[in-house]
Every structure is written in C-alpha cells, then in structure tokens.
A and B are shown apart, each in its own frame.
Chain A
Amino acid sequence: MTQVSSTRPIVSVRDLGMVFPVPGGQTVALQDANLEIMPGEFISLIGPSGCGKTTLLRLMADLVRPTSGSLSVNGETPDAARQKRAYGYVFQAPALMDWRNVLSNVKLPLEVMNLPREGRDARAREMLKLVGLEKFERSYPWQLSGGMQQRVSIARALAFDPPLLFMDEPFGALDEITRENLNLELLRLWRETGKTVVFVTHSISEAVFLSTRVVVMTARPGKIEGVVNIDLPHPRGEDSREDPRFFQYATEIRELLKKGHA
C-alpha cells in the first residue's frame, strides 16, 4: 500500500492561504501551504490547536473557499470533486441524526444520492459489520457510547464508497483504550479498501502509528512546518509501537513542532 503506483496526486495544494476576518482584524488560519497527496496514502495533519488543520481539511472538502492559492482534488476543483461525491468526511463530532437508528443513519448518504433502494440495507449492514456494530443497527444514537457513535459516522462516510476519506480528529474525544482499538481498525480498513485518508490529530503517537506521511503544522500563522515520511512496515500492530524507528519519528515530529513554537 505504501508503494504508490500512480504518479498523479489525488490532492494537490499550492500556495494555499486562508484568512478569516475577525472583529478588529483578521486571523491567518493558513499561509502558503504546499502539499501533494498520492492515491492510497494515509496522511496525518498534526499540530497544536488553531494551526489550521481543520481549515485545510475543509478547504479540500470545499466546505470553505480559499482566500489565496489553489488546490485540486482528483485533478479538478474541490467544488467539482464535491459535486462528484469524491470524498467522505468524518467530523470531529459524530453528527448523527437523533431520529434515525444506526442502520438508517448509515443509509443517509445512499438516500441523498438516490442509490438503488434495494441495495441500501445490504450496503449499510456491510459497513456496520466493518466497524463492528452489526448488532446495534436498531439502536438510536443516544443509546450508544461516544466511541460507538463515532464508528457509526465512519461507517456512514464509507457507505457510498468514496475513494478519499477526510477525518477531522475523529477519535479526539475518546479514551485512550477505545482510541487505540479504533486506530487498529482504521488501519485494517485502509489496507483492505485502498482508500486515501487525510487524518487530523494532535496525538504524535497516533500520527506515527497510522500514517505513511505526517504533515506537521504550526500556529500563528497556521502553516506547514515539515513533512515526515513514516517508513514502518505494514501491517502494523501493537509491536510497531515498540519499533525503535517509531521513537525516532515521534522525536522528529516533536522537534518540528517545537521549531514552530520558538
């Protein structure tokens, strides 16, 4: 999976900048960002809060428009890519619909996209099985723990089989144990499906464990400080965390983060 065959980037970011007007001035959320993401990569964006991770992801997803620079997704504008439903987005909060049960929540994109009615249930059940929630399809969101809700939202993002997955701190609110479990599951999912993942986190070990490359960002103004290649073999498991290179990468990332701080 790490050996990328295609040479055309799936996401390409050039001199990208985003400035928000705020009372009495402006916030530079992102400045001169440059990045190319190849198909099949697992990219993590890491940095302190306020460094523009969410902004960068939202720009790629065409949820906001840049104030300078340009970017392309699948060789098109983000808007065109969104119109073609090129990506799934997992938000920081599960954002489930309270009035829909788990199965029906996962079916939501299939309904919106008018995919054949007959296939919907089967597809949604398949996704629920993938995230280990097949026994909970009749439950409502309030009956699930935070981790289970986030898994439903991942199943929902996968339901229409987008080649690209944007994930904004999906496990940020979860306890360490649940989080490490979900990390393992996410890696398995990524290897099995061959999707490209752009993953936001502020945990160094999570970034190293998951990624093929880690994009280190720093704040005020938000910018990309450096990119670290993670050359750990796949499949990765708990023992990958014991690998001496794991610590090397973590240290390298920590140094980059400090550089932005100084």
Chain B
Amino acid sequence: MTTAAPDSPLAAAPASRSRRASNAGPMLAVAALALLLYWPVMLLANRGVAQRALDSGADLGCKTALACATQLRNPVIPAPGQFLEGFRALTIPPTAPTSAPYNMLVTGGETLLGLSLASLLGLILATLLVRSRSFERATLPWLIASQTVPIVAIAPMLAVLLGQYGVQGFLPKAIIAAYIAFFPVAIGMAQGLRSPDPLQLDLMRTYRASPGQVFGLLRLPASLPYLFTSLKVAATAALVGSIVAEISTISFSGLGKMLAENSRASDTVALWVIMVYSAVLGIALVALIGWLEKGVTRWRPAR
C-alpha cells in the first residue's frame, strides 16, 4: 500500500494492438487470392454454358467456348467488364428508385427499425426470463417454437394480417425482421443478465440494494458485452428477414424486391451486383454495432 505493487501493468494494450494489425495481413492475402482466382474460375464456370449455346447454333459473335465465356448474356459468373457495366447501370444515378444504393438504404432502414424493435422486445423478454423461473418455463418453449417456423412461410401471412390493420410498406418488413431478430437478443441478454458473479450479488445484498439497483447497477451493465454479441447475430438475421419479407410480399422497393424482379428476368449480372450490395449492407450493419459496442464498453481491454 505504501509500496506500490511492482505489477501495475498497462502492458496488455500494446500487445493487443499489434495483434490487431497482424490480422490485416492474412485477410488481404485471402482477398488477393480470390481476385487471382476470379478470372480462371469465371472461365471455367461459363465455358459449359457457352459450349451448349454454340452447339445449339446460337450466334454469340465468338468462335470458341473459351472466347464466348466472357460474353454470355446471362453468365454464371460475370466477366469483370460485364460486372462493372452492370454495377454502373444499377448504381447511377444513386437516387433513382430503381438503383441498388437507393434500395439498399430502404432495406437497411427496415433492418435497423426491425433491429430496434427486436432489441426492445428482447430486453423485455430477457428481463422477465431472468426475473421469474415460471415465466421461463411457460414461455421459453414457445419462443423456441416461434423460431422453428420458416420465416418464408410466416412473412406473407404477417404482411396480409398487418395490412388488414392498415400497416403497410416499410413497417411490415421491419416487423418481420424483428420477428427473427428478437430471439438471439432475448437469449443473449438473458445470459448476460445472469452473468454477474454470485459474490457480486452477495455484495449488493450486504448494501441492502433494492431489486432495481441490483438490475441497474449490476445485471444490466454486466449484460452489455452479451447484448452486443447477440446484436451482431441479430443484425444479420434481421437483414435476412427484411429481404425475405420484400421477396415474399408485395413490395415496391428494397433489395429483396430487386432480387425477385431480376431472378424472374434471369438477369444474372444484376443478381450478382445486388448480392454484392447486400453483402456490403450486412457488413455495414455489423460494423455499426461493433462501433457502438466500442463506444459503450469503453472500459474493456482492447482486443
């Protein structure tokens, strides 16, 4: 106490920083490998289709299957040029209601709204689950059952049902997204709310803390890391939910609506472009949550 302990280490921080830096290397290597393989894999994937087209006597403006592989109208994998052209066509102008960025924002908005609803519902459910064993016994099987029904089967029914109450457009998709996203949040939060050490609960007892104080000062902050982990799972689930909702209900915008349209038209280039936009949206959502997590759980060691 008068002599400070020799080990007052802040040494963990630099170590983990260098660990994070070294993560980028392998990741870039994989990206480079994927780029390198793109061309041969694309040729290989398209050659068969090109050969069949040539055999059927179609005039593709090219002689060999290999040469035609980069010029198919609906390629299995688009050639770089085709992909860039499709990308440009679906991106510019970005404000057009038919453009992929515009529709990505619509889907992203639905997903975020759905995620917020899911968090609220998940938090309430988790609190009740932790509060009462009998509530858990009564509801947990039903919560699990709710997740075993395929979302594709539920989405149209929910949309029709909600439509009868005048809920249309944006909101039904968000609700369908919330339907699959609340579950991981509820389970993760329940686990987090139960995570405090028994000694910490005893400690609060020696202070004569009220149940509200135990919740607010101990259980809730202890659950935050769990919340963010489950939110990352929930975010991708919610994204799937809103895209499925857009595909399986009457929609006028969203990536799901674009996917449905272009798959009916067999426009594979457009489908590839939309897929890339969906991936970007998914990554952005998870990154957003990661960023929130860093802000909220500032006290944690850098990892």
Contact = CB atoms under 8 A, between A and B. Distances in A.
Interface stretch (B7-15, B55-63, B121-129, B248-256): B7-15
B120 interface: no
A145 B203 contact: no
Contacts of B297: 99
A131 interface: yes
Chain A's interface size range is: 35 or more
B1 A91 contact: no
A87 B202 CA distance: 13
A145 B8 contact: yes
A145 B7 contact: yes
Given A97-B218, A145-B9, A87 B1 contact: no
Q: Is the interface of B mostly helix, strand, loop or mixed?
A: loop
Contact of A101 (B3, B207, B218, B299): B299
B81 interface: no
A185 B217 CA distance: 30
Chain B's interface size range is: 20 to 34
A4 interface: no
A147 to B, nearest CB: 5
B299 A99 contact: yes
A148 B207 CA distance: 22
Contacts, number: 89
Contact of A113 (B9, B205, B207, B218): B207
Contacts of A178: 5
A112 B204 contact: yes
B300 A83 contact: no
A136 interface: yes
B200 A132 contact: no
A86 B222 CA distance: 27
A61 B207 CA distance: 11
Nearest to A113: B207
22 contacts: A62-B205, A82-B206, A89-B202, A89-B203, A89-B206, A95-B200, A95-B203, A97-B218, A98-B299, A99-B297, A109-B207, A112-B209, A112-B217, A113-B207, A130-B1, A131-B1, A132-B3, A132-B4, A135-B4, A148-B5, A181-B1, A185-B2
Interface of A: 61-63, 82-83, 85, 87-89, 91-93, 95, 97-101, 108-109, 111-113, 130-133, 135-136, 140, 142-145, 147-148, 151, 178, 181-182, 185
